[in-house]
A and B are shown apart, each in its own frame.
Chain A
Amino acid sequence: MEPNGTWVYAITERVDLTPLAQIRGVGGRPVRTVAAAGLTAVAEDVDLAEFGEEALRRNLEDLDWLETTARAHHRVIDAVAQQGPPVPMRLATVYSGDARIAAMLTQREADFRSALRRISGRMEWGVKAYADRQPEASDDSAVTAGASRPGGGAGAAYLQRRRNQLTAQKNARRDTLASAEMIHAELARYAAETRVHTPQAPQLTGIKAPMILNAAYLLDGTRGEDFAAAVAALADQHPGLRLELTGPWPPYSFAGTGEEGGLT
């Protein structure tokens, strides 16, 4: 089938396609470039039968398709990022042809240039924190109260114990959120910019412990190691939390100027 659409991965100033020759993109065709206004769009021709609007609506409901496509999209952007951070496009940005892409580059030139300046020499790192330990074990009073047997005087003791438990839970929750803020503030010291994302739902992470921090940090290329060490140190200081570090990522979270990462 003839490709009749063009998928755009990222915008950069220039890119050497040689190292990209081996990379498999979303549609299995070679990655190519479209240049205009001194900018380069990294792109791939695709069939609208699979990547057109209607097809996308259907395909995006298919988690396997979504995963394969998301990984392919990222693979190309990550490969481009080896040559310098690009401005990544959101998944499923498809144009009808080069003229439209060139027009977009020309129209948005200033925005892309300012985004490229901000991310130059920088990569994104992610940190997630989970509140691993719940305060359920904190009522040693249950033992010392000695009223473990149900009956007469045990009722009041039970209520007291329950009250203590609830207070402890409330305090723990407050402390946990305060810890998350502290961690973010400490890590932000390493970053040129930060973004706080919505915590991921337990259904998506597969981790029961609630996520209390999901943040992205834009770091100068040389700071990754210090940052990782800082995360490890913070994990030691907060034994009730579990910290996860990911990266370096291409600067997905810092590509735009708007709150949603848009260039509007």
Chain B
Amino acid sequence: MSSRHEEEPALVPTAVTSPRQSHQPAIHTERIALVDLLDRVLAGGVVVSGEVTLAIADVDMVRVSLRALVTSASALIRAGDDEEGPGR
């Protein structure tokens, strides 16, 4: 069975907009692919060192293991697929 996928346009710009003008929302937030968003909110952004997290006695700040998270996200996404499993 040869499933040759159809030709797709070479450039598929997701959420491309022109540079923002004053206070016009730049991205249609709900349209952003979750995977791109997680790339940024989980791997990007500032991690304040000392990460007052659990390390500091107050237990006031919480930081999550990025790796565990992405793994679980990927496992969950795959669980919805009937493709090959995550190699458990």
Q: Please give the distance in Å from A84's CB to the nearest CB on chain B.
A: 11
Number of A-B contacts (CB under 8 A): 211
Q: When A97-B60, A221-B20, A228-B16 are in contact, do A247 and B48 touch as well, CB less than 8 Å? A: no
**Would you call B40 and A253 a contact (CB within 8 A)?**
yes
**Would you call B19 and A222 a contact (CB within 8 A)?**
yes
Q: Please give the distance in Å from B11's CB to the nearest CB on chain A.
A: 4
Q: When A100-B61, A203-B77, A248-B17 are in contact, do A67 and B34 touch as well, CB less than 8 Å? A: yes
**Would you call B52 and A104 a contact (CB within 8 A)?**
yes
The A170-225 residues at the B interface (CB cut-off 8 A) are 197, 200-201, 203-205, 208, 214, 221-225
* A interface residues (Cβ-Cβ under 8 A, vs B): 5, 11, 19, 51-53, 56-57, 60-61, 63, 66-67, 70-71, 73-75, 78, 81-83, 87-97, 100, 104, 108, 115, 123, 126, 132, 197, 200-201, 203-205, 208, 214, 221-225, 228, 231-232, 235-236, 238-239, 241-249, 252-253, 255-256, 260-264
**Would you call B13 and A244 a contact (CB within 8 A)?**
yes
Query: A-side binding surface: helix, strand, loop or mixed?
Result: mixed
**Would you call B76 and A82 a contact (CB within 8 A)?**
no
CA distance A63 to B45 in the complex (A): 20
* A–B Cβ pairs within 8 angstroms, 20 of them: A63-B77, A70-B41, A71-B30, A73-B41, A74-B37, A88-B44, A92-B64, A93-B61, A96-B58, A104-B52, A132-B10, A222-B19, A242-B8, A245-B13, A245-B14, A252-B44, A260-B43, A260-B47, A262-B47, A263-B46
Q: Please give the distance in Å from A95's CB to the nearest CB on chain B.
A: 5
Q: When A108-B48, A201-B74 are in contact, do A74 and B8 touch as well, CB less than 8 Å? A: no
CA distance A245 to B78 in the complex (A): 25
For residue B70, which residue of chain A has the nearest CB? A204
Q: Please give the distance in Å from B40's CB to the nearest CB on chain A.
A: 4
